[in-house]
Amino acid sequence: MGYDYLSPEHMKTNERITIVGAGLVGCLLACYLGKRGYKVTVYEKRADRRKASSGAGRSINLACSDRGWQALDHVGLGDAVRKEAIAMRGRMLHSKQSELSFQPYGIGDEAIYSVSRGGLNSTLMEHAEKDFGVEFVFDMKCMDVDLENAKANFKHYGSKEIITVESDVILATDGAFSRVRGIMQHLNHFDYSQDYIDSDYKELNIPAAADGSHVLDKEALHIWPRGRYMMIALPNPDGSFTCTLFMPYEGEDSFEQLNSTEEVHRFFKEVFPDAYPLMPTLEEDWNANPQASLVIIRCHPWHYKGKVCLLGDASHAIVPFYGQGMNSGFEDVYVLDGMIDAYNGDWSKILPAFAKQRKPDADAIADLALYNYRVMADSVNDPGFLLRKKLEHRIMELYPEKYKSLYSMVTFSHIRYSEAQRRGHAQDQRFKAIIKEHDIEGHFADGTIDDFIHKNLNTLITT
């Protein structure tokens, strides 16, 4: 592992940083700050996940893409995570008639990666502790924060004892229902919004075959798009897939209607006919796993006087349909790290500059993630959308240096989310107009599409 980007003038060994929350973002942040020499302590309300009895627990995964990898690589941890990651090169769509169609995510080797959420969290914790001198304190719930003086109160789960921790800076990565943000909400001029979407989700399972192999193509993110609802499945290294059913919590085609085991079986058999036989534990999983909600959180400002700042889901929780929640939180850490250099370790400048840069990007990815819900659930069945994607993919194959789709900008680049959103919108409008004016379907059918693209390149790729 190379630690050479660290310059001695940024070693602030006398500065104490408290991180609230040892989730994915808090642990990565701890690695970055520990590596710089800050005295970092992370307080987590739950028990140490590494000591939890491992057994036949569920494997829950999430997709890591370029922004996540950039942040992991920069602190020297990318390779440790890559060892257990599975490349997913595209979406495998499963129709109601059990037909399969594959849409590559990018070009060449571009892929998103399925990683174990628990495994990644533990890896980050392990490195934070062992390589970067970070201290973790578990079973400690943040109860209150004195924002002015960067003091926080934590209550121990077992003893109920309350301790007060003084530090130079408090960085809050305590997730979508952040206690620290809750305290900041009382500040004058603090904006906050919380929006639940109309869909909930439930995690289910497709086990490995008897020989431990995957029963579906493991190099794909599988999607069963059905309009108002959809199921997705991501591969795990043990041969299983973690499935997630997203569907409205009430009304037509909703969780509310799946109110008996018979209904659940009937529904899966009818709407996911190829997945149903691969889900022998459907009933058990259905009953054991919670139906959870999906929330979008926006707030402003994320910081208070160079003393306290929110990062990750605590400042911008988004819906999971672009696979960018963790990736954007990891990018927060990467950007904050750059600000430490830019402002020579002066937190009164670092925190406002960080929040000012990231807020528009967090807003953009929140909008894009919601938009992608419709794309995944519905538009993948829309012929107009599919034709636009096909045209776009061919342009990317022919001119990879000149053109990137919105999906590629978000997933396979480090272009700011707000800029990706602006360009993506312009591209979409242009493709709609071009498809109206020209017989793109015909050009694909008679093999003249490449000529068409060459001739119209400037119009096609202008942003």
Ligand X SMILES: Cc1cc2nc3c(=O)[nH]c(=O)nc-3n(C[C@H](O)[C@H](O)[C@H](O)COP(=O)(O)OP(=O)(O)OC[C@H]3O[C@@H](n4cnc5c(N)ncnc54)[C@H](O)[C@@H]3O)c2cc1C
CB 220 within 8 A of CB 102: yes
For 226, other C-beta atoms within 10 Å of its C-beta total 19
* DSSP SS3 for 164: strand
- CB-nearer residue toward ligand X: 30 or 453: 30
What whole-number distance in Å separates Cα of residue 391 and Cα of residue 372? 19
Q: Does 230 bind ligand X (CB under 6 A)?
A: no
Angle at which helix 66-74 crosses helix 325-342, to 10 degrees, equals 40
What one-character DSSP code corresponds to residue 106? Answer: S
Residue 413 CB, shortest distance to ligand X, in Å, is: 15
What whole-number distance in Å separates Cα of residue 329 and Cα of residue 242? 22
Q: Does 25 bind ligand X (CB under 6 A)?
A: yes
* DSSP SS3 for 34: helix
CB 65 within 8 A of CB 42: no
Candidates 142, 184, 296, 364: give the one binding ligand X (CB under 6 A).
Answer: 142
Candidates 18, 205, 236, 327: give the one binding ligand X (CB under 6 A).
Answer: 327
Residue 365 CB, shortest distance to ligand X, in Å, is: 10
Pure H helices in 325-439: 325-342, 347-377, 383-398, 406-411, 417-437
Q: State which H helix or E strand residue 100 sits in.
A: strand 100-104
Q: Does 324 bind ligand X (CB under 6 A)?
A: yes
Candidates 17, 40, 63, 230: give the one binding ligand X (CB under 6 A).
Answer: 63
**One character per residue 347-376, x = contact with ligand X (rule: CB under 6 A):** ------------------------------
- Nearest partner of 274 among 241, 249, 250, 247, judged by Cα: 241
- CB-nearer residue toward ligand X: 116 or 427: 116
**Angle subtended at Cα 432 by Cα 390 and Cα 441, rounded to the nearest 5 degrees:** 45
Q: Does 123 bind ligand X (CB under 6 A)?
A: no
Residue 105 CB, shortest distance to ligand X, in Å, is: 13
- CB-nearer residue toward ligand X: 29 or 279: 29
**One character per residue 270-309, x = contact with ligand X (rule: CB under 6 A):** ----------------------------------------
Q: Does 331 bind ligand X (CB under 6 A)?
A: no
Q: Does 129 bind ligand X (CB under 6 A)?
A: no
Residue 326 CB, shortest distance to ligand X, in Å, is: 3
Q: Which stretch binds ligand X (CB under 6 A): 41-49, 235-243, 342-350, 380-388?
A: 41-49
What whole-number distance in Å separates Cα of residue 245 and Cα of residue 230? 6
Residue 350 CB, shortest distance to ligand X, in Å, is: 19
Residue 240 CB, shortest distance to ligand X, in Å, is: 16
- CB-nearer residue toward ligand X: 114 or 427: 114
Q: Does 235 bind ligand X (CB under 6 A)?
A: no
Candidates 46, 156, 349, 374: give the one binding ligand X (CB under 6 A).
Answer: 46
What whole-number distance in Å separates Cα of residue 74 and Cα of residue 341? 14
Radius of gyration of the chain (CA): 23
Candidates 34, 106, 237, 312: give the one binding ligand X (CB under 6 A).
Answer: 312
Candidates 17, 18, 19, 20: give the one binding ligand X (CB under 6 A).
Answer: 20
Comparing every residue's Cβ against ligand X, the nearest one is 23
Applying the rule CB under 6 A, the residues between 239 and 258 that interact with ligand X are 244
Q: Which stretch binds ligand X (CB under 6 A): 157-165, 174-182, 257-265, 419-427?
A: 174-182
Separation in Å, CA 23 to CA 45, 51, 143, 297? 10, 15, 17, 17
* DSSP SS3 for 194: strand
Residue 96 CB, shortest distance to ligand X, in Å, is: 23
Q: State which H helix or E strand residue 9 sits in.
A: none
Candidates 69, 113, 136, 201: give the one binding ligand X (CB under 6 A).
Answer: 201
Residues written for the chain: 463
Q: Which stretch binds ligand X (CB under 6 A): 75-83, 167-175, 209-217, 258-266?
A: 167-175
Candidates 34, 119, 175, 301: give the one binding ligand X (CB under 6 A).
Answer: 175
Q: Does 17 bind ligand X (CB under 6 A)?
A: no
Q: The dihedral of CA 355, 356, 357, 363: what is its sign?
A: positive
What one-character DSSP code corresponds to residue 447? Answer: T
Candidates 17, 18, 23, 279: give the one binding ligand X (CB under 6 A).
Answer: 23
Residue 315 CB, shortest distance to ligand X, in Å, is: 8
What whole-number distance in Å separates Cα of residue 215 and Cα of residue 284? 20
Q: With 0-12 CB in 10 A as exposed, 13-18 as middle and 19+ as buried, what is 264?
A: middle
CB 337 within 8 A of CB 187: no
For ligand X (CB under 6 A), the number of binding residues is 31
Q: State which H helix or E strand residue 12 sits in.
A: none
Residues that bind ligand X (CB under 6 A): 20-26, 43-46, 62-63, 141-142, 173-175, 179, 201, 244, 312-314, 320, 323-327, 329
